[in-house]
Every structure is written in structure tokens, then in C-alpha cells.
Structure 1
Amino acid sequence: MLRAFFRTEAGSTSMLLVATALALLWANSPWGDTYEAFWHTPMGLSFGDAVFSLDLRHWVNDGLMTLFFFVIGLEVSYEMRLGQLRDRRLIAVPAVAALGGMLVPAGIYLLLNAGGPGAGGWGVPIATDTAFVLGVLAVVGARCPDPLRAFLMTLAIVDDVLAIIIIALFYTETLSLPALVTAAVLLAAIMTLRWLRIWRAPAYIVLGFGLWVATLESGIHPTLIGIALGVLVFVYAPTDQKLLMAGEAVHEFTSEPSARAAREAARRVQRAVSVNERLQLRLHPWTSYVIVPVFALANAGVRLDGETLRAALTSPVAIGVALGLVLGKFIGISLGTWLPLRFGWGILPGNLVWGQLLGGAAVSGIGFTVALFIVDLAFDDPAIHAQAKIGILAGSLLAAALGWVIFRMAWDRGGVCAPPEAEPGEELPEILSVPVGPDDHVRGPEAARITIVEYGDFECPYCGRLHPILEELRQKNPDVRLVFRHFPLRTLHPRAAPAAIVAEAAADQDSFWEMHDILYDNQRFLTDEDLAHYAAQLDVEPWSDVPRHVSRIALDEASGRDSGVRGTPTLFLNGVRYQGPLDLDSISRAVEDLRKPS
């Protein structure tokens, strides 16, 4: 689910950029006056004497963006139950970082604007724009991108939830009690349908629309309802029974194809997947490629003539927003990351070092969608409105540039995970210190001409990418065998050592390589619960003899250190360190060279 999210968000960045550029061109063209006139065009519904009308900008901001936050609610619900957020140790660090990334920018803004006409805009620099951040990460190509993106994704989810709460609490001017009561009744009706497990889409659509109207009339911003309804959508992992029924239906269709069998197979396959995931699959592209760009088109337009720019250069609102996004986000997220790590409140999701984390903190200062959203709620004065938008644009550009510089300066070993303190000052040995023996885990013929020894880590993403390459190499070369030795990088990969222990437990029952493959196929899911599940699949007792397994792993680590291993993956071909690129063609050429007579 996270990978699909990353692809959609990063891909939609170009659409968002185009929409922003069009809005700026339109607002600064000879027809610039038509920009505001168009978005203030009223549109509504009437039933007899009853009229419900909003201008186009409010239909976008209050209507379409409610669907955007509904999708965020779906993502929050999924990640809390089945994804990244179910492991509390992984939530703590990005959650505290998100909180720091909101408090510090708000504080910097208020230092410049407290008591002034722009004081109410303290919420503008607090939010991170996920689409732009992931798009920038795709451009800079940061080392070990998957764990960094997972970290920033979790941070962004917490950031979005806190931003919606702030909008509801601090940017609600008046409340209508009858509308609030109506909204509460409709919400209770939706929760009742959920409790009764009634999944009729028309009922939810009608009740949801009524709840949106009631919330809008109550004075509370309806985006809060969007994220609340998203969280309420039921999510579950496919059960064995549903998967079996789906498989039987598909088998029946392939055996005797018919329209009835096709419909039944489609129905059972669909029901095996939760409503939450199905809605995300359908709605996420619409929100990312249509709704958010339309929102940018409706809100990013600001005149950039000489007078407006001169006013922004000295405006505490523009300066406060820009500094909040650039310095506030960077300081707040960096400090919010350091504190929980320092006091042991949580762990990082993978092989992240401070260069990457600081780069991520910097690009998190790209505030756009929610920042523009809050500008519309915080300011009535058109001049301050324009200054805040200029601050957002300037701050976001500077944050992107700062992140790019930090990523360029970040330490990079070109495809090998290793902690900074592991960088050796001496020349490393190139010969395998401990020859392959009977206690090693060997895959391939005993009399193979070529032996590849891999020092690996089950949580290392580079090892995960190398895994299918080595397997393809071995399949194409019958005279090649693979030896795996453990080298868990505990400071970077907290789940690598427990995974290694479970692999050794599987080895006791001659199932090491089966477990090896399972662990690499599920690198993102290595909690104790996950490991126990994988062990059960192979009928293995995962924690039966931990001290012996720890000693066995320690021997591998010692042999690795003596052989000059400092990161993963590290390969030795026939006992000599391999120092080429970790791709199939390069390793294959090295294998061919070994076959040549000396």
C-alpha cells in the first residue's frame, strides 16, 4: 500500500506544479482580473425556496478537499491497522518529529506577528505537503529512499491529522447548535450502519453528503468530517477463508468459463479485499491527479508585480511564513527526531543516517496544499492574503533547495548500508578470513567451481534488491553456489537481529533458505508478530534456543569484521572481496573472469 501511495504522490507532483504555474500565469496575465472573478462565481442547488450556494473556490476548498482528507483518513486507518503505524516503536519518532515540525514554525511566525494583523496566520507554516516532498525525493534520488520515504510518510500522516484538528479548533468562527446536532445524528447513523456491517454504498453516500452539508452549516470546517469518515471505513487483512473462496471461484471460472462464473469470481475476489483498500485504489488517483491540482489552480494565483513583491519583502506575514517553513520545519523536525531517539522512545524504520534525516527535515518545509488552505481561513484582508501566499511560495522553494543541498552533501557509499561510525580509517582486508565450512548456509552444489559468500542483513534494502539478482545468477550458472552469513547492522536496522534469530531457528529444521526468501520478500514487515507468523508457515518455533542462535550469528559477524566487512551487502567471490557494482551484468562478468584460466 505504501509503495502505491509513493508512486501516485510522486507522479502527481508534476500535475501540481503545472496547476500552480497556470494559476500564477493567469493571475499575472493581462486577464488577471478574471482569476478572482471566476473563482467567486456562485454555484448551488435549490429545492423550492431552499437554496444552498457556494462560490467555485469554496466548492473546491470545502467540497472537493473534503474528499482529499477522506482519502487521508482511509490511509490513516489502513496504516494503523495493517501498515506502518501498527508498530508503536516506528510511530514515536516521526510523531514527535511532526509535532516539533508544527510547534517551532508556529513559534517563529508568532515571534514576528504576535499582536499584529497577521497573528491569526500562525497555522500557515505548520503543514507539510506530502506530494511535493515525495516528488522532490524522487528528483534528488536520496540514498536508501524507501525507509526515508516511509519515515516522511508517517510524519506527513501525523502532520495532516494535527493540521485538521488545528483547523477545527482554531479556525472555526461561529457555531450553529441545530446544525451541530444534525451532524451528530447523521454521524451516529453512519456508525450504526458500520456496527451492523451494512455496506450499501448509496446509504453511505446520502448520509455522508447530508453530514457534509450539516457540518458546513454548523461552522466547523467539513474537512474534519472527511478525515473522520475515512478513519471509520472498515479495513481488514484478507482471511484464509475468503482467499480460499476467491481461489475456488477463479478456478471454477478457468475450468468452465461463463458469465455467471466470471461475475462470481470477480465478486469473491473483490470481497477478499477490505472496502478501505478498494476505496483508496479508486479515489487516490482522483485526489492526487485532479482534486489537489484543481485546488492549486483555485488558490495559488497571486499577483507578483513590483508593488506586491516590495510589500512582501518587508511583510512580517510573508517573512514569518517563509522562515517558519524553512528554518522552523528544519529545526523542529530535527529536534523532534533527536529527542525520542536520545531517550529511547522509538526506532527508525530502516537504514537512515543523519544526513538523510536532515535532508528529509529540510524538504518537509515545502508547505503548499494545507498552507494555502489555512491562508483562505485565516485572512480576510486581500493584501495580507497575497503576502502569505508569496511567503508560502518563497519558503517552499527555499526548503526544496536546502534539502537538495543537504542530500548532495550527505555521505553516500553507493549502494551499501553501513553506519557512519563503521567507516574504517585503515586499509580493509580483501580475503575471506574464515573459509566456507560445514556450518555455513549453502545454496547450490557442494562441488561448485565458484562460491559467492554474502554478508547480509534481512532489513537492509540493498540486500533485498540483491537477493533476486543472486538467485537469477545461480539459476543461470549451475557451477555457482551461494553462502549467506549474517551481518545485522543493529544501529541502523533494529529488526535485522531478531530476523536472523528466526532464520537460524528455521535452519534447525533444514528450512533456512525458505525462511531466508520469506524474510527478504517481506522486509517492511519484520515485527515480532510478523516473524512469528512466518515461523508458523514453516512450522518453526522461532524463539526455542535464542542463546545458541545468537552465538551462531556472532560467529558470522566476527568473521565478517575480520574480513573487512563494514556494511551490507558485502560479497566475496572464491574468497576474494568483490568491489564492483551490485547488478546482474557486473557480477556475472566477475564470475566469468573467475572461470578463465589464470
Structure 2
Amino acid sequence: MPNLTIIERSPDPEATTDSGARRLSIAERLRSAGQVRIGALLLLAATIIAIAWANISYDSYHGFWDTHVTLGVADLRLDFTLHALVNDALMAIFFFTVGLEVRREFAIGELTTWSRAMVPVLAAIAGLAVPALLYVLISSGSGHENAWGIVISTDTAFLVGALALIGPKAPGRLRVFLLALAVVDDIGALSIIALVYTENFNPLPLIVAAVGLAGIFLTRYLRSGRGLVYATLAIIVWLAFLGSGVHPTLAGVAIALLVPVYRPDRRDVEHALDLARTFRQSPNTEYARAAANSLRESISINERLQSAYAPYVAYVVLPLFALANVGVQLSVDILAGAATSMVTWGIIVGLVVGKFLGVYGSTALLRLFRVGEFGPGLTGERIAGGGALCGIGFTISLFIVDLAIADETVQNEARVGVLAASIIAFVLAALIFRISDAVHPAEELGRTLERPVNPARDHIFGAVDAPLTLVEYGDFQCGFCLKATGSVEEVHRELGDRLRYVWRHAPLTRYHPNALAAAEASEAASLQGKFFEFERSLFADQENQLPSHIIRRAQELGLDVERFEADLTSAAVAARVRDDMLDAEAMDITAVPTFFVNGRRHTGPYDAQSLIRALEETAEA
């Protein structure tokens, strides 16, 4: 879910919120952002070390990475250089995590429906095609036109890290857009590696790989011991890809796409909590094992593996890859050669200009023709900054350099181009974001309602075409939101058909553990036409909002419980709540309830008379 920090707001304008809770939420946000920054900084540090090492002692650098390592037992042996071990084995783990993210996005993420995926998918496709075209045009006649794959991919790790370092205030929706784009970008890059840069193809080992992949798919049905089976079959599939001539890192992607992913079933989570309470009352090994297993199984193996491997990829695999691949000599002769090399300039223009034109240009056209969905906060200037950041084509670009170019001199020129393009793209994005922040200062953020009220989307109580509009961002477990419902009811009694009231979600997930589940449950109820009935039942009993209580409420309201439970785990319901949370972040909503009166943010008390006065005054204005 988006990183949204919200606190409850007292109806008394003189009252203050709990400062300790505020400090805690800020600390959590900084810690999360810090983890992203650490990974990007380690990657940057490894890059600098590799360049320094190669320029201080070029022979020792290449001699070290050319060291042979033999793995195996008896007659079954594999001989690798350290460089190949990093690129063929460790990078398979990186591509495995990429595949997990791809699988998740298409199953329960931003790419579940075409209407949601249209903008990032089309931007990613243009971001693949335009750079490749520019590279081929500029490098024409160099003899290395086939190396166009170098410029097609964006480095997701650097992209996220750079966005955390230089991105705009409240970057949530831009981050979601760029991550969805990066997933499609990765699919394109991986497909091109498999189809264009595979040599000495031998189809027979792929039969073994297919059997192993079938076994991986079926492993989900085992009752226990799945970890060992997954690991064994993964090694077999990797070895089969290695023997086939298809780059073995693609085995990681193939395996990841077969790992099951699903949204947690709230009742499974509740059952795990019951077992944990049982263990607390009667601590013993059996209860401890049952509670731990139940908690683990409530989360899909896809997300467990992402969580487990992400630190190793960010802190070990990618820095080692940079250390093994970025060691380019920066002598006067090499830099002079790069300055006049069509390959170098093709890479720089392809990544910096091509990515920007592809991403920003395609989204500008989509916006012009009103195609696709652009949520609040995803403005043209922010997409421009994100498009510039997409020019950081580090990891996969360097990976393809070795696959596409055999000449060591040209490889060095290509690496210079990748490094130069990444630096230029970073600086360009920073400038765009700073200019954007200057044009739209922080104090103007969130003064007006960013997403207009839409009867086809919003939950509206009252006449749809009423002249007065009151929008509330709230939380079903928030005590102050409960008090605000009384004010809203009184306002509606006074104004009658002149008022339309709109509810939008801003759950305090850090302080109210069931608030997100309640919001999603209300959306599931809305699919059966009973949003406000479910809302009233949630506010009527804020202390009991566990999954079992939510199902009971659905039964009491006469909902189709089987359909309700299915909708609770649907990607569409989760996306609807996430959209409201991202809207709240884009408008810098840091307290709930927050009201918008006729499209303008309301400040001060929210008793009925204050809200009525504000509605009348802003209507006249």
C-alpha cells in the first residue's frame, strides 16, 4: 500500500494530536525511505570502487574477475570465472525478484485491468521503442547497430532510489506509475535478451527445464516441505537453461512467474492471531510452531520471497554486479575515443533523450486525447521528471553490453555511455523536480480537491446534482470520524436536497490495524449497492472490525456473502481504496477527518453550523 501517514484530528481546533504517534510515523517513513537509499548508495559506491580499481590497476581488476571457480561433485563439475558467476548465477536471483514483481503486478497490482494499466504500459512500450530507434539511427555505420538492447531498459533499483532522494513531495502516485512502467520495461528487456541475444541454442535441455517448471507449478499443492522442493527444482531449471544456450538468468524469471500470489485472506490472518493468543496463554513448542506456520501461510509465497530476497539483491547482488561490470578505464585515450564513438553517443541519446521522449511524449498524447486514467498527483511535470529518471539504464544496460558487443574497446565506450547517460538523466530529473516544486510551492498543495466528484465512481449520499458538495476523507476506526458523522447528519437535515455528501477512504493503517480491512469491506458492500448501510454498521461498532465481524455484518445486511468474500480479495477493491489513499497523499492530508467544502479544503472546527456556514459562503464565492 502507499506510504500514507495520517493522524486523527480533534474536532476542537485548539486540541493537538499525540506528538509521540506523529514522531513514530515519521520515523517509520524515514526508515523505509532509508532502506531504498542504502541500496542505491551501495550500488553507487560499488560503481565508484570498480572504476577506481580498474584505473589504478587494470590487470588486477580483470585478473580477479577472470579467476576460475569450479563447482561440482565427482564428474559433475561446472567451471566459471568469478565474473560469469556473478552475471550468470547471482543475477538469476535479481531476475527472479523482477519476475516476482511482474507476477504480482499482473495478479493483484496495478496491471490487473487494462483501464488501470493503459498509461504505464503504453508509456513503457514507447520508452522501449524510441530509445532503440534513436540508437540505431545514431550508431548506423559503426558495425554495432545490433547493440540497441543496451538502451531499452530502466534500472528499477536506481529509479526508486533516485526518486526517494530527489523526488517531489508526496510522490506516491508517481512512484506507482513508474514501478508499473518498470515492470513492463523489464518484460520487454527480458524478452529481447531471450530472443535477440541468445547464441548456440540447444533445445533439448529446455525439455528438462519444462519438466522442472511444471514441478514448480505443482509444488504449491504440497502440504509441507515446499521450500526444499522449490530450491531443488529451481537449481535443475537453472542448469537446464545454462545448457540450452538461453541465458540462465532468464530461468529466474520463468520460475518466479509460476510462484503463487494472492491477497491475504482476512480470516486466515485472524486464525493466525488466535493461535498467537493461544501461544501467549500457554507457551509451548507446538503452539509456537502452529502460530508461526499459520502467520506465514496467510501471506502468499510470492510476497514472502520478495521480502526475503529484496535485501540480498539490494545490498549484495547488485553491488557485486556493479563491481564486476563497471570497471572501465577512464584514460585520456579511452575518453577521447568515447567522445567520438557513435556507440557512446547512441547510448547517451537513446537513454537520456529516447526514454524522456518515449515516456513523457506518449503520456502527453494520451492526456491530450483523454485516453487512460491519470490520478491526482500524476501531473505532466512529474511525469516529465519520471521520464528523465527512466534514462538511468544501469544494471540491464551493462548486462547487455557483454552480450551484444564482443570488442573490448567498444565495450569500454559503451560502458562510458551508460555511466554518462545515467548521470545526465539523474541531474536532468533533479532539475525538473526542483523547477516543478518552485512553480507549485508546498503551501498550495491540497487547497483544492484534486479529484472532482464523479457519480460513476464516488459514494454519494444525497442528490447527485445538488448545488452544495461536502467531501470527507476518513477512517472507519477513527473516533473523531465517528463524531463527525453526527455533524454530517445534522448538516444533511438542515440542507436537504441542496447537499451531496461524499465519503473517501484515508485509513490510519499504522494505528488502526483493521481500518484498511474495513475500508475494503465497505467497497465490497458497495458492489452490491450497500455502501452507506455498511458504513453505518462499521461506525456503530468500531471495536469489532475483525474479518469474522465483517462477514457477520454482511450477513445481517442481507448481502450475498459468497460474492462479498470473493470481492474482499479482489484487486479492484484494493485498488479503489489505494486510489483514495494516494489522492489523500497527493493533497497532503495528514489528519482525519479532512473535509472539502465545495471543492475547497475546510480548516477549523467541523461542527454542523461551521460546515453549513462554510458551504453557504463558498457557494456564493
TM-score in terms of structure 2 length: 0.71
SS in 2 for 1:28: helix
The one of 237, 249, 272 equivalent to 1:223 is 249
Q: Is the 8 A contact 1:183 1:211 kept in 2?
A: yes
The one of 198, 201, 204 equivalent to 2:230 is 204
Question: Quick check: 1:77 aligned with 2:103?
Answer: yes
SS in 2 for 1:85: coil
How far residue 346 of structure 1 moved from its aligned partner, in angstroms, is 2.5
Q: CA RMSD in A?
A: 4.0
How far residue 49 of structure 1 moved from its aligned partner, in angstroms, is 4.0
Question: Quick check: 1:89 aligned with 2:115?
Answer: yes
Amino acid at match of 1:511: R
The one of 285, 296, 309 equivalent to 2:322 is 296
Amino acid at match of 1:243: V
- What is the match of residue 117 of structure 1? 143
In the TM superposition, what are the counterparts of 1:376-525 in structure 2 within 5 Å? 376-410=402-436, 411-414=439-442, 415-416=445-446, 456=471, 506-507=531-532, 511=536, 514=539
Tell me: CA distance 1:487–1:534, structure 2 relative to 1, closer, same or farther (3 Å). Answer: farther
Question: Quick check: 1:18 aligned with 2:45?
Answer: yes
Q: Is the 8 A contact 1:454 1:570 kept in 2?
A: no
The one of 89, 92, 96 equivalent to 1:63 is 89
Q: Is the 8 A contact 2:70 2:77 kept in 1?
A: yes
Amino acid at match of 1:177: P
- What is the match of residue 568 of structure 2? none
Distance, in Å, in 1 between the alignment partners of 2:228 and 2:285 is 26
Distance, in Å, in 2 between the alignment partners of 1:307 and 1:505 is 73
Amino acid at match of 2:603: L
How far residue 244 of structure 1 moved from its aligned partner, in angstroms, is 4.0
Distance, in Å, in 2 between the alignment partners of 1:479 and 1:237 is 32
- What is the match of residue 588 of structure 1? none
Q: Relative contact order, CA 8 A, sep 6+: which one is greater?
A: 2
Amino acid at match of 1:302: V
Distance, in Å, in 2 between the alignment partners of 1:202 and 1:70 is 17
Distance, in Å, in 2 between the alignment partners of 1:347 and 1:534 is 35
How far residue 79 of structure 1 moved from its aligned partner, in angstroms, is 2.2
- What is the match of residue 232 of structure 1? 258
Question: Which stretch has the larger CA shift, 199-208 or 344-353?
Answer: 344-353
SS in 2 for 1:511: helix
- What is the match of residue 168 of structure 1? 194
Tell me: CA distance 1:506–1:400, structure 2 relative to 1, closer, same or farther (3 Å). Answer: same
How far residue 570 of structure 1 moved from its aligned partner, in angstroms, is 4.0
How far residue 198 of structure 1 moved from its aligned partner, in angstroms, is 7.1
In the TM superposition, what are the counterparts of 1:132-151 in structure 2 within 5 Å? 132-151=158-177
Q: Is the 8 A contact 1:366 1:400 kept in 2?
A: yes
- What is the match of residue 158 of structure 1? 184
- What is the match of residue 443 of structure 1? none
Q: Is the 8 A contact 1:128 1:365 kept in 2?
A: yes
5+ long unaligned stretches in structure 1: 423-437, 441-452, 458-462, 490-494, 519-531, 543-562, 578-598
- What is the match of residue 358 of structure 1? 384
- What is the match of residue 521 of structure 1? none
5+ long unaligned stretches in structure 2: 4-28, 453-460, 492-499, 505-518, 544-549, 561-595, 612-621
Q: Is the 8 A contact 1:176 1:218 kept in 2?
A: yes
Q: Is the 8 A contact 1:10 1:131 kept in 2?
A: no
- What is the match of residue 571 of structure 1? 603
Distance, in Å, in 2 between the alignment partners of 1:396 and 1:418 is 37
Tell me: CA distance 1:381–1:70, structure 2 relative to 1, closer, same or farther (3 Å). Answer: same
- What is the match of residue 269 of structure 2? 243
Distance, in Å, in 2 between the alignment partners of 1:514 and 1:421 is 25
Tell me: CA distance 1:260–1:64, structure 2 relative to 1, closer, same or farther (3 Å). Answer: same
Tell me: CA distance 1:402–1:540, structure 2 relative to 1, closer, same or farther (3 Å). Answer: farther
Tell me: CA distance 1:536–1:97, structure 2 relative to 1, closer, same or farther (3 Å). Answer: farther
In the TM superposition, what are the counterparts of 1:250-269 in structure 2 within 5 Å? 250-269=276-295
- What is the match of residue 275 of structure 1? 301
Q: Is the 8 A contact 1:106 1:125 kept in 2?
A: yes
How far residue 65 of structure 1 moved from its aligned partner, in angstroms, is 0.7
How far residue 359 of structure 1 moved from its aligned partner, in angstroms, is 0.8
Question: Quick check: 1:317 aligned with 2:343?
Answer: yes
How far residue 47 of structure 1 moved from its aligned partner, in angstroms, is 3.8
The one of 40, 45, 48 equivalent to 2:71 is 45
How far residue 537 of structure 1 moved from its aligned partner, in angstroms, is 9.2
Distance, in Å, in 2 between the alignment partners of 1:350 and 1:378 is 41
Residues 553-584 of structure 1, C-alpha deviations (whole Å, 9 max, x = no match): xxxxxxxxxx99656x442457899xxxxxxx
Q: Is the 8 A contact 1:73 1:231 kept in 2?
A: yes
How far residue 124 of structure 1 moved from its aligned partner, in angstroms, is 0.5
Q: Is the 8 A contact 2:201 2:244 kept in 1?
A: yes
Residues 30-58 of structure 1, C-alpha deviations (whole Å, 9 max, x = no match): x2321111111111224444431111111
Tell me: CA distance 1:177–1:340, structure 2 relative to 1, closer, same or farther (3 Å). Answer: same
Q: Is the 8 A contact 1:151 1:349 kept in 2?
A: no
Residues 279-305 of structure 1, C-alpha deviations (whole Å, 9 max, x = no match): 111111111111011111111111111
In the alignment of these two chains, the number of paired residues is: 499
Residues 87-132 of structure 1, C-alpha deviations (whole Å, 9 max, x = no match): 4322111011011111000000000123432212101111111111
Residues 488-533 of structure 1, C-alpha deviations (whole Å, 9 max, x = no match): 99xxxxx9xx98x969964467729849x99xxxxxxxxxxxxx99
- What is the match of residue 124 of structure 2? 98
Distance, in Å, in 2 between the alignment partners of 1:306 and 1:538 is 78
Distance, in Å, in 2 between the alignment partners of 1:394 and 1:534 is 60
The one of 320, 324, 332 equivalent to 1:306 is 332
- What is the match of residue 126 of structure 1? 152
Q: Is the 8 A contact 1:506 1:535 kept in 2?
A: no
Distance, in Å, in 1 between the alignment partners of 2:217 and 2:485 is 60
Amino acid at match of 1:66: A
